[in-house]
């Protein structure tokens, strides 16, 4: 009898370029399209996923990169997601709401959904 044991791992991804709810939706959509992957949570700057194998994890990182959100794996501990710093720039907003140097309360728009 031939049986295979599938090991499901919980992986935390650090994701650059996220700055708003639209980014969270775009990342969730990109990850949900990857076979062999279950999305646990996505917040600005990170995601916690379950992957059936390392190929699924690699495909998740590639899908995020293609969507404009460079990502890297942090490890298999879901608690790590809470310690991932929020990053801005890139993604859909391109860090759209950045204060201009020398201006008090002046905001520059750089396009994207928030600009």
Model confidence pLDDT, tens digit, residues 29-69: 999 999 989 999 999 999 999 998 889 999 999 999 999 99
To the nearest 10°, report the CA torsion of 113, 67, 29, 92. Answer: -10
Position 87 in a domain: yes
Is 19 within the bounds of a domain? Answer: yes
User: Is residue 2 in a domain?
Assistant: no
- Between CA 36 and CA 7 the distance in angstroms is 11
pTM exceeds 0.95 for this model = no
Could you tell me which residues are beta bridge partners of residue 41? 48
Give residue 37's pLDDT. 93
> Which residues, at least 6 apart from 57, have a Cβ–Cβ distance to it below 8 Å?
9, 11, 37, 49, 51, 73
Mention every residue, 6+ apart, whose C-beta is less than 8 A from residue 33: 63
Full domain range(s) for residue 100: 9-108
Alpha helices in 14-98 (DSSP H): 21-32, 54-66
pLDDT band at 110 (very low <50, low <70, confident <90, very high): very low
Per-residue pLDDT, averaged over 76-95, amounts to: 47
pLDDT at 56: 92
Asked, for residue 93, whether it belongs to a domain, the answer is yes
Q: Is 114 a member of any domain?
A: no
CA distance 21 to 7: 32
Count structural domains, the chain.
1
What DSSP designation does 62 have?
A: H
> What pLDDT is stored for residue 33 in this prediction?
96
- Which CATH number covers residue 65? 3.30.70.100
Bigger pLDDT: 63 vs 82: 63
């Amino acid at each position: 009898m031939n049986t295979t044991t599938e090991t499901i791992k919980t992986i935390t991804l650090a994701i650059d370029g996220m700055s708003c709810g639209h980014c969270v939706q775009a990342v969730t959509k990109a990850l949900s399209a990857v076979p062999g992957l279950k999305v646990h949570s996505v917040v600005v700057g990170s995601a916690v996923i379950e992957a059936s194998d390392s190929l699924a994890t690699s495909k998740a990182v590639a899908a995020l990169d293609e969507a404009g959100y460079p990502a890297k794996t942090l490890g298999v501990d879901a608690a790590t997601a809470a310690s991932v710093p929020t990053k801005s720039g890139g993604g859909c907003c391109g860090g759209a709401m950045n204060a201009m140097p020398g201006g008090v309360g002046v905001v520059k728009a750089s396009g994207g959904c928030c600009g």
